[in-house]
């Protein structure tokens, strides 16, 4: 397993030397969404608290870094941490309300959706941050401004983000924190009876998850150069974040990565197909169908299934 992972990593590092720019772009999205999925995985997968509002953290991170860069000239390399911190603050608020008031399952989903939608509406109506027009970042190609003329730079940054988030989750898995999270997902009351402060650990999971997601917002802003409230705060982005770990296997280390390798090219393909027909956004129908299929036939996701399959071979 370890050797396979190392070999795959080697291939990914070497890949930009051989593949074309379109493939590179697709891979950048694979890594980036795997990163966001891995961040979500901490609270949504391990702790089992289904957030369908993670777009809010991407949006806050993206807008913060962009505004700091455009307005105050702060380099996004620092702005990304400010964005992460603000996202974590919102995550703490949502977590506090959700966990203190005991909102579980469906009610927690609604709470996260409501917060993301409120962020979107506020951004739409705040002229100071561009309102419905959004923000545009002029391309300078200056690495200090998180801008690179060469797509390969973005490739390695996205790969780095994915690996970093995976390392964070790998570490969490091995600590008391991670063990507690998986137990909380199974049965919260039983955890409390065993002395686990479930509120504290759920909060911690939410804060770490929203921080990482917020950091990802900077990449989003400075890779795409434009931010619109409906795209960075919208429910479709939240769905993009949620669906990869779920298809790949929520609460597993490899799930978000596997899910992103399956879904990002598929999304790219269907988006291309539907956009050509003039139905932009309709690729979500594919996600919907996939979600239904996974729930019905592969509830643990693809990763545990694949591992069992490999174990049987070996």
Contacts with another protein, residue ranges (CB under 8 A): 48, 50, 52, 97, 101-107, 109-111, 114-115, 117-118, 121-122, 124-125, 174-176, 179-180, 182-183, 186-187, 189-198, 235, 239, 246, 274, 278-279, 281-285, 287-292, 294-296, 299
Q: Considering beta carbons, is residue 157 or 181 the nearer one to another protein?
A: 181
Least separation, in Å, of the C-beta of 160 and another protein? Answer: 28
Least distance CB 200 / another protein (angstroms): 9
**What's the min distance (Å) between Cβ of 301 and another protein?**
11
Vertex 52 angle, CA 66 and 104, to 5° = 135
Q: In angstroms, rounded to a whole number, what is the distance separating the alpha carbons of residues 232 and 161?
A: 19
**What's the min distance (Å) between Cβ of 165 and another protein?**
21
The 8-class DSSP code of residue 249 comes to -
Q: CB-wise, 219 or 287, nearer to another protein?
A: 287
Question: Please, what is the minimum distance in Å from the beta carbon of residue 179 to another protein?
Answer: 6
CB of 213 to another protein, least distance (A): 19
Residue nearer to another protein on the CB measure, 54 or 283: 283
Shortest Å distance, C-beta 73 to another protein: 32
Percent helix, strand, coil in the chain, to 5, is 80, 0, 20
In this complex, which beta carbon is closest to another protein, that of residue 12 or of residue 179? 179
Of residues 6 and 167, the one with the C-beta less far from another protein:
167
Name which of 186, 296, 187 is nearest 246 in CA terms.
296
Distance of CA 251 to the CA centre of its chain: 14
Closer CB to another protein, 10 or 281, in the complex: 281
159 or 185: whose CB is closer to another protein? 185
């Amino acid at each position: 397993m370890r050797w396979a992972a190392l070999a795959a990593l080697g291939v990914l590092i070497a890949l930009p030397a051989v593949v074309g720019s379109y493939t590179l772009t697709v891979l950048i999205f694979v890594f980036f969404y795997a990163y966001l999925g891995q961040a979500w995985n901490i609270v949504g997968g391990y702790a089992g608290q289904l957030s369908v509002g993670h777009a809010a953290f991407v949006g806050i991170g993206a807008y913060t870094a962009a505004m700091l860069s455009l307005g105050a000239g702060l380099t996004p390399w620092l702005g990304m941490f400010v964005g992460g911190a603000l996202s974590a603050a919102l995550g703490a608020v949502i977590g506090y309300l959700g966990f203190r008031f005991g909102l579980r399952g469906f009610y927690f989903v609604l709470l996260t959706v409501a917060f993301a939608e409120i962020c979107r509406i506020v951004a739409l109506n705040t002229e100071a941050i561009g309102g419905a027009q959004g923000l545009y970042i002029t391309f300078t190609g200056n690495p200090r401004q998180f801008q690179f003329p060469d797509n390969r730079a973005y490739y390695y940054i996205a790969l780095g983000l994915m690996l970093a988030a995976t390392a964070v989750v790998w570490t969490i898995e091995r600590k008391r924190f991670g063990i507690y999270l998986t137990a909380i997902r199974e049965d919260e009351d039983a955890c409390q009876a065993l002395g686990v402060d479930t509120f504290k650990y759920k909060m911690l999971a939410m804060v770490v998850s929203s921080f990482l997601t917020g950091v990802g917002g900077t990449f989003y802003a400075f890779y795409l150069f434009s931010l619109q409230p409906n795209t960075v705060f919208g429910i479709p982005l939240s769905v993009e974040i949620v669906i990869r770990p779920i298809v790949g296997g929520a609460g597993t280390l490899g799930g978000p990565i596997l899910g992103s390798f399956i879904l990002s090219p598929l999304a790219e393909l269907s988006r291309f197909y539907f956009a050509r027909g003039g139905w932009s956004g309709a690729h979500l129908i594919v996600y919907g169908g996939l979600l239904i299929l996974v729930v019905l036939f592969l509830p643990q996701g693809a990763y545990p299934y694949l591992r069992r399959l490999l174990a049987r071979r070996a």
